[in-house]
Amino acid sequence: MALDIVLVAGILLSVFVHLLLRRRLQSIRRIPLLLVQRASQSSARCRKSVPCPTPSNLAARYGTTGVVVACSAGAAPSFLKARDLQFANRPSPISGKDVTYDGQDFVFANYGPRWKLLRKLTNLHFLGSKALTMWELVRRDKIGRMLRAMLESSQNSRPVMVSEAMVCASANIIGQVMLSRRVFESQGEESKQFKDAITELLAWSGKFSIGDFVPAIAWMDLQGLQRQLRRVHVKLDALITALVAEHEATAHEREGRPDVLDLVMAKRVDADGVPLSDVNIKGFISDMFIAGTDTSSIIIEWALAEMLRNPTILQRAQDAMDQVIGKNRRLAESDIPSLPYLRAICKEALRLHPSTSLSLPHYTFEACEVDGYHIPPNTRLVVNVWAIGRDPNVWEHPLEFKPEKFLSGRTAKIEPLGNDFELIPFGAGRRICAGMYAGLIMLQYGIGSLLHSFHWKFADDDEELDMKEKFGAALPKAVPLKAVVSPRLLESAYM
């Protein structure tokens, strides 16, 4: 009997906390700047109140964790520029303890020698603008394979799933450059497991976690989230372990033409003389696949859905590409500087549908003052890039997809590269997305290739109106875009 009462009380408590915190987290989107004190200091008040259209939200507290949210182009630089170093850490990933290898990976590393080394090596050999030019042929090959698979679908009257096709192409690009191998074969059990594990992990890690906001009860894992993430992590880790072992065994085949993992392994000692451990290396590989696949594909899917609903935009983009490229060959990356409308489409998609809508959390261990406001120690910073991109004080018709705003007028010169705080889909400051240039190329080259190569229409007529987002760490379309394509180029252009 006593046990039953405890069980029922536990379940009620979990439902209550879950509903309360989830509502609060979703309300983050509506608040320009919110300061919250830690529970242990609940008697203290914010030293200064903050202008806010929904004042009732000011009193919010996210469990026992101090959280500050920047939701405007004015507030973001106060943290990411003026206090960038202070907030350059990450909070402990409690729900994601396993998938981040207990914070031993790159993305969740605190600001320190290990993070600096990984950032430097990644920039030098993989994701920096100079390194990216070396891998152009890999991108051309993998996008070419994707287009040929879509051509085959069109010949067999099968619809294409845009996001799935792009995830596959991006993961194969990353696999080839980092590990000298594709990861998603069209057949093969190991590759299928890899793909399924990444897809499942992204789905679970997007869910709201009570334990992250009330660490004292994290061990109870009330939602079963840690258990689910651990289950997926075990699968993914086994596959990464196998990939690393295979990579070691085939080292002799790559003599004189090292891949990214070879280059990282050759320089794996940080400024304190501490070598990257095998766990750090596995975390690094896992991060690249997780951070580098779904992020671009989600935005490409949204951009296509927006254009399918606005055929004049689609037509204008295709006409511009026909003029520059013609129909005898497919898009090359070197065409992109001559295609301002395509670049404007990509910026508009990044503004309206940033895949990492609340960025990644930052963290300060020490107290500080920001614009005269007191920030207590151990506070988490959330930057709402989604709300910033839709701010009516900056953007005209903020909810409409209108690439023209990036061609002329007041907002034409805004770039998404971390300097213009009205548009920061990649974040800003020291922890800005390490794959920003790669992400941009994947968007421009991916969207451009799809638009230029095919005529597009929705597979289901009902889909036209369905533009709902699926709330989580990433914001994909709730109903994945399924489209029917038909070729626009000469057949030889797809070979």
Where is the binding site for heme, in residues? Answer: 433
| Residue 431 is a binding residue for ligand HEM (CB under 6 A) | yes
Applying CB under 6 A, which part among 65-73, 158-166, 428-436, 448-456 lies near ligand HEM?
428-436
| Residue 446 is a binding residue for ligand HEM (CB under 6 A) | no
Q: Exposed (0-12), middle (13-18) or buried (19+): which is 231, by Cβ within 10 Å?
A: middle
Query: 259 is written with which tokens?
Result: 């891949």
Applying CB under 6 A, which part among 38-46, 429-437, 457-465, 479-487 lies near ligand HEM?
429-437
Q: How far is the CB of 439 from ligand HEM (least distance, A)?
A: 3
| Residue 425 is a binding residue for ligand HEM (CB under 6 A) | yes
| Residue 295 is a binding residue for ligand HEM (CB under 6 A) | yes
Q: How many CA atoms lie less than 13 Å away from 449 in the CB half-sphere?
A: 29
Applying CB under 6 A, which part among 49-57, 135-143, 283-291, 368-376 lies near ligand HEM?
283-291
CB closer to ligand HEM, 262 vs 488: 262
| Residue 261 is a binding residue for ligand HEM (CB under 6 A) | no
Choice from 22, 30, 119, 488 touching ligand HEM (CB under 6 A): 119
Q: Around Cβ 194, how many Cβ atoms within 10 Å? A: 24
CB closer to ligand HEM, 261 vs 325: 261
CB 162 within 8 A of CB 481: yes
Binding-site residue set: 433
Choice from 427, 446, 448, 476 touching ligand HEM (CB under 6 A): 427
| Residue 66 is a binding residue for ligand HEM (CB under 6 A) | no
Q: Around Cβ 164, how many Cβ atoms within 10 Å? A: 17
Choice from 292, 389, 403, 448 touching ligand HEM (CB under 6 A): 292
Choice from 151, 288, 303, 344 touching ligand HEM (CB under 6 A): 288
Interface with ligand HEM in residues 305-344 (CB under 6 A): none
| Residue 359 is a binding residue for ligand HEM (CB under 6 A) | yes
Q: How far is CA 408 from CA 65, 341, 405, in A?
A: 44, 11, 6
What 3-state DSSP class applies to 448?
helix
Choice from 296, 364, 411, 453 touching ligand HEM (CB under 6 A): 296
DSSP secondary structure letters along 126-193: IISHHHHHHTHHHHHHHHHHHHHHHHHHHHTT--EEHHHHHHHHHHHHHHHHHHSS-S--SS-HHHHH
Sign of CA dihedral 72, 77, 79, 80: positive
| Residue 426 is a binding residue for ligand HEM (CB under 6 A) | yes
DSSP secondary structure letters along 292-349: HHHHHHHHHHHHHHHHHH-HHHHHHHHHHHHHHH-SSS---GGGGGG-HHHHHHHHHH
Applying CB under 6 A, which part among 146-154, 396-404, 424-432, 454-462 lies near ligand HEM?
424-432
| Residue 301 is a binding residue for ligand HEM (CB under 6 A) | no
Choice from 106, 213, 386, 421 touching ligand HEM (CB under 6 A): 106
Interface with ligand HEM in residues 168-207 (CB under 6 A): 174
Q: Exposed (0-12), middle (13-18) or buried (19+): which is 309, by Cβ within 10 Å?
A: middle
Helix (H) or strand (E) holding 381, with range, is strand 379-383
Applying CB under 6 A, which part among 29-37, 51-59, 419-427, 464-472 lies near ligand HEM?
419-427
| Residue 100 is a binding residue for ligand HEM (CB under 6 A) | no
CB closer to ligand HEM, 112 vs 326: 112
274 DSSP assignment: P
How far apart are the two ends of the chain, measured CA to CA in Å?
71
| Residue 291 is a binding residue for ligand HEM (CB under 6 A) | yes
What 3-state DSSP class applies to 454?
strand
| Residue 432 is a binding residue for ligand HEM (CB under 6 A) | yes
Q: How far is the CB of 494 from ligand HEM (least distance, A)?
A: 25
* The pairing of beta strand 66-70 with beta strand 33-35: antiparallel
| Residue 435 is a binding residue for ligand HEM (CB under 6 A) | yes
DSSP secondary structure letters along 47-98: SS----S-GGGGG--BTTBEEEEE-STTTHHHHHTTTTTTTBB----STTTT
Please tell me the count of residues contacting ligand HEM according to CB under 6 A: 28
- Of residues 112, 118, 113, 90, the one with CA closest to residue 102: 90
Applying CB under 6 A, which part among 153-161, 186-194, 256-264, 430-438 lies near ligand HEM?
430-438
CB closer to ligand HEM, 128 vs 487: 128
Choice from 287, 306, 335, 422 touching ligand HEM (CB under 6 A): 287
What 3-state DSSP class applies to 370?
strand
Q: How far is the CB of 288 from ligand HEM (least distance, A)?
A: 5
Residues binding ligand HEM (CB under 6 A): 106-107, 119, 127, 174, 287-288, 291-292, 295-296, 299, 354-356, 359-360, 425-427, 431-435, 438-439, 443
